[in-house]
Amino acid sequence: MKPRIGITYTYNPGEAGRVNDNARAYVDSVEAAGGDAVLLENDASRAREALRGIDGLILSGGADVEPQRYGEPIHEKTQASNPARDDFEIALARLARERGVPTLCVCRGLQVANVAFGGTIVQDLASEMSEHYTLHHQQVREDGEERTTAVEAHAVEVEPRSALANLLGTVRFATNSMHHQAVRAVAPALRAVAWTSDGVIEALDAEFEHPFFYAVQWHPEELLEDPISRKLFGGLVEASRKSAGATSR
* CB burial of residue 218 (10 Å; 0-12, 13-18, 19+): buried
Whether 219 sits among the annotated catalytic residues: the reply is yes
Q: Which residue among 137, 180, 210, 219 is the active-site one?
A: 219
On whether the CB atoms of residues 56 and 245 are closer than 8 A, the answer is no
What are the respective helix, strand and coil percentages of the chain, to the nearest 5?
Answer: 35, 20, 45
Cβ atoms of 214 and 200 closer than 8 Å: no
Judge whether 105 counts as a catalytic residue.
no
Q: Identify the active-site residue in 89, 202, 221, 222.
A: 221
Nearest to 200 by CA among 187, 212, 214, 218: 218
End-to-end CA distance of the chain: 16
The answer to whether 180 is a known catalytic residue is no
Q: 53: which residues sit within 8 A by CB, 6+ positions away?
A: 4, 6, 38
Which of the residues 107, 137, 179, 222 is marked catalytic?
A: 107
How far apart CA 249 and CA 237 sit, in angstroms, is 17
- Point out the residues that are catalytic: 107, 219, 221
